Amino acid sequence: MSGTLTGTVASEHDDFGTRDRLDVGGKRWNVHRLDTIAPAHLPLSLRVVLENLLRHQDGSGHSAAQIEALRTWDGERDSGTVVELRPSRVFLHDTNGVPAVADLAAMRDAVAALGGDPGLVNPLVPAELVIDHSVIADEFGHTKARLHNVELEYLRNSERYEFLRWGQKAFRHFTVVPPGTGIMHQINLERLAQVVTVRDGWVFPDVCLGTDSHTTMVNGLGVLGWGIGGIEAEAAMLGQSLSFPLPEVVGVRLDGVLPAAVTTTDLVLTLTELLRAHGVVGKIVEFHGPGLDALTVEDRATIANMSPEFGSTAGFFPIDDETLRYLRFTGRPDDHVALVEAYAKMQGLWRRDRGLWFSSDLRLDLTTVVPSLAGPRRPQDRTPLTRARSTFQQTLPQTLAAGTDPSAQASVHLDGTEHRIGHGAVAIAAITSCTNTSNPAVMVAAGLLARNAAERGLTRAPWVKTTLSPGSRVVMDYYADAGLTPHLEALGFHLAGFGCMTCIGASGPLIPEVSEAVRDHGLSVAAVLSGNRNFEGRIQPEVRMNYLASPPLVVAYAIAGTMDIDLTREPLGHDQDGRPVLLADIWPDEHEVADIVATSLRPEMFTTAYESVFDGDARWRDLSAPQSRLFPWNPASTYLRKPTHLDDFTRRPRPVQDIEGARVLVKLGDSVTTDHISPAGAIPARTPAGEHLTRLGVPADQLNTYASRRGNHEVMMRGAFANVRLRNHLTPDVEGGYTNCDGTTTTIYEAAETYRRVSTPVIVIAGRNYGAGSSRDWAAKGPTLLGVRAVLACDFERIHRSNLVGMGILPLQFLDGQDADTLGLTGHETYTITGLTALDNDVVPLTATVTANGTVFQARIRLDTPREVDYYRNGGITPYVLRELLTGKAEAEAT
């Protein structure tokens, strides 16, 4: 164990004779050369993995077998090799970072309780945390909107921020980027990522693992990285490797160039549809081909950002001249850029469009991409703009609440005028998310469309809540330089904040009159956003239809005010002379977009924006933080409570037991996302979580969001399966967090408490693609606290399955051709799951036997690696790592 938990970047072993030197700019660096061992056809993404394995080889046969698997890789599926990757850094955001730091603090408490040194719990791998997920778009449509939203952010979250400041002081190698700086992935792209890392005399590829699934955005810069759960991140910070099956690599060849009036957003929605249909879950997607010549790093990053929407582990782009241009342009030092170039060329990581082998191949001609949007529920549900109206009309019945009149309308009085709105009215139009606000071309296009619309006398529909929340301060700099800010503000797109905001559901309340109309008439209203996810209940609880679109289309729909329109044929409105104005009339010219990007965006904007990136404003600097190795938990806090999952910690794990007499807590269908399992948005007052906080004296207007309360397990366990759009098959006539418990409809939390009181374990039954969406560890932590012992599903999204194991929940998969329906499972049965005790004897059965009343069947045990078996046997990652820490300390003292 003492050899595992090291902070070193390279071992002393060189069993394959690959250690060498690289001389650049008068400096000499240690490297492990790949050209002597890697096959020429090995995909570039796997070359990064191979280098990582070579640098951390330990002389064992297991280590050598991993390297040999890549040395002989031929593109065929490898079902047996498990590789162990060690990141160069761990990347967190505040809503996942707070519970991660809380777990580390609880681990220190556990070590101290056993008489050990709390300092054992300390990051050995650099960790960077960006506070970007907490600001809410409460205020909008005026010049002081951002200031008001920031004031509210600190009012709600100062306790959490003080905790993070304590963590920054208490833990080594832990850095915090304060609020108001931007979105983590955009900051990573523009500032933090260096492509190659220099440390301890070595140079090697940056491998970035983050607690947000869109960590893949940095793949656009040639950095290999992806999202992991917060509990996995804790283990990685403490020196544990990430163990995973050697992935297949899907090659995507891009040809041609995008047509005029087609944006990178249209391209990424097309790729999302294509790759979801192909099936890339658990695989790496690697882009290549001459089409890359026409894609900037910003374009590539937009595509890579959406990798979780494809379902892939990563969406990797190679290093080339465009990479070097972007590094220089964003202020990286020239000597480092020279090192990136020399290292990439020496290691075969430089882009080449021929000679690589892939597990499967796809091709996309960029000239075939058309203007598009995706919705109303999933990113892969793309529709061409020409069919957007008909698609809306076809899907509308599926979004209506039970008993709602399909032709319902309501009158709303706004600014002294009465307006009629119906189903499909656009209630939110948001230019949001790092996905698109990192791309100057689409952002400038939005500004120009706003200018052209304002000049024709067009305004936003008055019932639309319009917000602008870029992921970088640089956006507002080049908007100001190009003179586009006033035009956006003329249409209501005032700066609301620098953060995720609407994209993660921190969209704030609707316009009050619109909210009242939705409630009173059951209207199915829409949000249009330039984000990456549009799952049910994610964007805003009262909004049933959500569409992803490019920033200029967001502006267009804000003007139209409805989804029930064909923007390619019908006018957005009429000008001062009463003439109809079509979208084509105001769509910006691509040459003007390119000219503004070239003249208004300058390198010094990046260097200025990031020169004090870690300093924060006066509010941040004035926050107090405890000066102690152990965190002084406040039992009265409603934001931070000491985690309970180590309360009964023992030095040795308890024996694995079969699951007997279990009941089904929820029975779910296909495409249940982590947003369904653990929502991030506003906490409604009339829910178990809202009622709990109200009883503690929290005013209804200060309940905040589930995301902000992730440091409080009492709130989060009540928020498990609390999405207002959840469809539990045990209660088919009601939406939301309800279930059937012994014939009575009750909340899922209350049912779990009932089962707990009589010591009855519970399970979850689900369909396909269970756990899609964000790398949300509370989607595993919450069910664990509710007593969930196993999840039986048709298949799992990669990150969520890992998170379940990390919390000690057993993922079980129906065998091919079987599901709950084919087996006749209603969810009202009593379940026994046997065959698990063999895990204590180092035997990993392929299947477990499930008995549901009189039905007996086999289910595949989805513990995919030996490390995951260790996690499960220990009750999860945290107790496993803590036991390893204590064992390693004991071994060190003994020697």
- Residue 92 sits at φ, ψ, to 5 deg, of -130, 160
Cα–Cα separations (whole angstroms), residue 330 to 28, 217, 502, 608: 26, 16, 27, 10
Q: Do domains 89-368 and 373-610 have the same CATH topology?
A: yes
Neighbouring residues of 634: CB distance < 8 A, sequence distance ≥ 6: 640
Q: Where are the alpha helices (DSSP H) in 709-775?
A: 713-718, 748-757
Q: Is the pLDDT at 893 greater than 50, yes or no?
A: no
Q: Is the pLDDT at 757 greater than 60, yes or no?
A: yes
Q: To 5 degrees, how large is the angle CA 635–CA 637–CA 640?
A: 95
Q: How far apart are the first and last CA of the chain?
A: 13
> Predicted confidence band at 260 (pLDDT cuts at 50, 70, 90)?
very high
Q: To 5 degrees, how large is the angle CA 582–CA 588–CA 591?
A: 145
**How much is the average pLDDT of 699-723?**
92
**How much is the average pLDDT of 498-517?**
95
Instruction: List, in sequence order, every residue forming a beta bridge with 431; answer none if it has no partner.
Output: 468
The rounded radius of gyration (Å) of the Cα atoms in the chain is 26
Q: Is the pLDDT at 106 greater than 60, yes or no?
A: yes
**pLDDT tens figures, 267-304:** 999 999 999 999 999 999 999 999 999 999 999 999 99
Neighbouring residues of 121: CB distance < 8 A, sequence distance ≥ 6: 104, 107, 108, 111, 238, 882, 885
**pLDDT tens figures, 815-853:** 999 999 999 999 999 999 999 999 988 788 999 999 999
pLDDT of residue 889: 53
Element (DSSP H or E) covering residue 580: strand 580-581
Percent helix, percent strand, percent coil in the chain, to nearest 5: 40, 20, 40
Report how far residue 220's alpha carbon sits from residue 314's, in angstroms, rounded to the nearest whole number.
Answer: 10
Q: Is the pLDDT at 3 greater than 50, yes or no?
A: no
pLDDT of residue 885: 85
pLDDT of residue 316: 98
**pLDDT tens figures, 302-331:** 999 999 999 999 999 999 999 999 999 999
Handedness of CA 24, 29, 34, 37 (dihedral sign): positive
Report how far residue 441's alpha carbon sits from residue 549's, in angstroms, rounded to the nearest whole number.
Answer: 14
> Predicted confidence band at 579 (pLDDT cuts at 50, 70, 90)?
very high
Of all residues in the chain, the percent with pLDDT exceeding 70 is 98
pLDDT of residue 774: 75
Task: Write down the pTM of the prediction.
Answer: 0.89
> Predicted confidence band at 230 (pLDDT cuts at 50, 70, 90)?
confident
Say if residues 550 and 266 touch (Cβ distance below 8 Å): yes
Report how far residue 126's alpha carbon sits from residue 128's, in angstroms, rounded to the nearest whole number.
Answer: 7
Q: What is the dihedral of CA 564, 569, 574, 577, to 10 degrees?
A: -160
Report how far residue 679's alpha carbon sits from residue 671's, in angstroms, rounded to the nearest whole number.
Answer: 15
Q: Is the pLDDT at 648 greater than 90, yes or no?
A: no
Residue 639's CB is within 10 A of a number of other CB atoms, namely 21
pLDDT of residue 7: 57
pLDDT of residue 895: 40
> Predicted confidence band at 779 (pLDDT cuts at 50, 70, 90)?
very high
Alpha carbons within 13 angstroms on the beta-carbon side of residue 45 total 30
Average predicted confidence (pLDDT) for the chain = 94
Report how far residue 868's alpha carbon sits from residue 354's, in angstroms, rounded to the nearest whole number.
Answer: 37
Neighbouring residues of 624: CB distance < 8 A, sequence distance ≥ 6: 162, 165
Handedness of CA 462, 446, 603, 303 (dihedral sign): positive
Domain spans in the chain, listed from the N-terminal domain onward: 26-69+78-83, 89-368, 373-610, 659-677+729-873
Q: List b or e across 12-40, with b for residues whose CB sees 16 or more CB atoms inside 10 angstroms.
A: ebeebebbeebebeeeebbbbbbeebbee
Tokens, residue 174: 């832990």
By C-alpha distance, which of 87, 89, 57 is closest to 70?
57
Transcribe 862-893 into DSSP letters: ---SHHHHHHHHTTSHHHHHHHHHHHHHHHHH
Q: How far is CA 264 from the centre of its chain?
A: 20
pLDDT of residue 402: 84
Instruction: Tell me which of 482 and 888 has the higher pLDDT.
Output: 482
**pLDDT tens figures, 395-409:** 999 999 888 999 999
**pLDDT tens figures, 348-386:** 999 999 999 999 999 999 999 999 999 999 999 999 999
Q: What is the dihedral of CA 452, 453, 455, 459, to 10 degrees?
A: -160
- Residue 242 sits at φ, ψ, to 5 deg, of -95, 120
Q: For domain 89-368, give the CATH number.
A: 3.30.499.10
Q: Is the pLDDT at 723 greater than 50, yes or no?
A: yes
CATH superfamily of 659-677+729-873: Aconitase, domain 4 (3.20.19.10)
Say if residues 520 and 480 touch (Cβ distance below 8 Å): no
> Predicted confidence band at 537 (pLDDT cuts at 50, 70, 90)?
confident
CATH superfamily of 373-610: Aconitase, domain 3 (3.30.499.10)
Q: Is the pLDDT at 341 greater than 60, yes or no?
A: yes
